[in-house]
Each structure stands twice: as structure tokens, then as C-alpha cells.
Amino acid sequence: MDVYEAIVGRRTIRQFDPKPIPRGILEKIANAARLAPSAANLQPLEYVAVDDAAIRTKIFPCLKWAAAISPLGNPRPGHEPTAYVFVLVNTLVRDKMYEYDAGAAIENMALAAWGEGIASCWLVSIDKPRIVELLGIPETRRLDSVLALGYPGQVSVVETMSEERKKYWQDSDLMFHVPKRGLTEILHFNKF
């Protein structure tokens, strides 16, 4: 799959197949994050990958999914992520303005995962204090967000955004629909 095909084809997925992700693929995904751009090349980000079933079970209740359609968009029992990668900021390296680094790293991970046939969901609405406790994250590290990972257990498609349909939705077949603005609405050449 070429890069553009991966970008166009990758969608957020919230229902996963229970098949475990090999550690080598998790390492590849984390390496893609490591190689993302970093402001001033300070590289303040670190990662905690979680693939242990017992820890995943404790993490899952700490996450909020698809707020606009909750609880319909939550992973059903048996369709939870099979791995997570938590994004941490080393505050001794950078205490603010790390969000660009985190966004670039997370997108690199999502695309690297998709290239391996693994779906993802970037979650920011999480119970940070509880996760910090569960993962033993030191005070010098700030938990930014998490990328939930697993082999896809649903299909997600892009729809044309309209006045009537601006929010994402999930149909009775668990297909996820994501309205997007058209290219002609957002792209301006040479002047606005």
C-alpha cells in the first residue's frame, strides 16, 4: 500500500477483532512515532505499549469512545482493542508546545498500523490519573493521549458532508460513517 492510499483508506475504528498484535508490529508502530517530526528536534515524547490482557482490561474503563454516539460507538464486549500505545511527554525536556509533536507521532503510528492491516482510534478523553497509576508513569512524564489498536472489526467509510449530516454515525450493521468536507470547499490556489 502506498502512502497516499494509506492516508485515504485509514479511518478511525472502534470495533476490533480479538486477534493479538505481534510485538514486532507494535515495535514498528512505535518506531514510526519515534521518527515523526519534533519541534526544535527536542524529542520529548516517550511511549508505553500495552498488550497484556490483564492490563488492557483495567485500562478499557478509563477510555471514552465516540462521544457523539455514546454508548453505541463503544467497542462491544469481545471487540475491545488488543493493544494500546500511550503517548507521554517528558516534561524535563519540554513542558509546553508539545502538541504538534504528539499529533505528528500519533498520525505516523496510525498510518504505520494501517499499513500492517491494523486499525486505530486516537483517544484524548481518558481518565489520566487512573491510567498514570495503572502504568506507573513517573511525575516527570505527562500523559497526553492513547492510540487504541487492533485488527478491524468494523468498516468505516467517508461520506460527503451536508447541512443535514455533519456528525459521524454508526448504522445497524456497525458501519461507521464519517462526513468530510469536499476538497473544493477547503482548497484555495494562490489566494483565498
Distance CA 57, CA 40 (A): 38
Query: What pLDDT is attached to residue 71?
Result: 87
Contacting residues for 161 by C-beta, under 8 A, at least 6 apart: 179, 180, 181, 182
pTM of the model: 0.94
pLDDT at 163: 85
* Confidence band for 156, pLDDT divided at 50, 70 and 90: very high
Stretch 139-159: mean pLDDT, rounded? 96
How does pLDDT run across 27-54, given as a tens digit for each residue? Answer: 999 999 999 999 999 999 999 999 999 9
Share of residues in the chain with pLDDT > 90 (%): 86
With b for 16 or more beta-carbon neighbours within 10 A and e for fewer, the 167-180 pattern comes to ebbbeeebebbeee
Nearest-angstrom CA–CA distance, 110 and 120: 6
pLDDT of 115 reads 96
> Which domains are assigned to the chain?
3-186 (3.40.109.10)
Give the CA distances from residue 25 to residues 83, 109, 126, 184, in Å, rounded to whole numbers and listed in that order.
Answer: 11, 11, 24, 37
Which among 121, 111, 118, 106 is positioned nearest to 13, based on CA atoms? Answer: 121
Q: Return the pLDDT at 178.
A: 92
| pLDDT score of 52 | 98
Average pLDDT, the chain: 95
pLDDT in tens, 43-97: 999 999 999 999 999 999 999 998 888 888 899 999 999 999 999 999 999 999 9
Give the pLDDT score at 190: 97
CA distance 128 to 138: 13
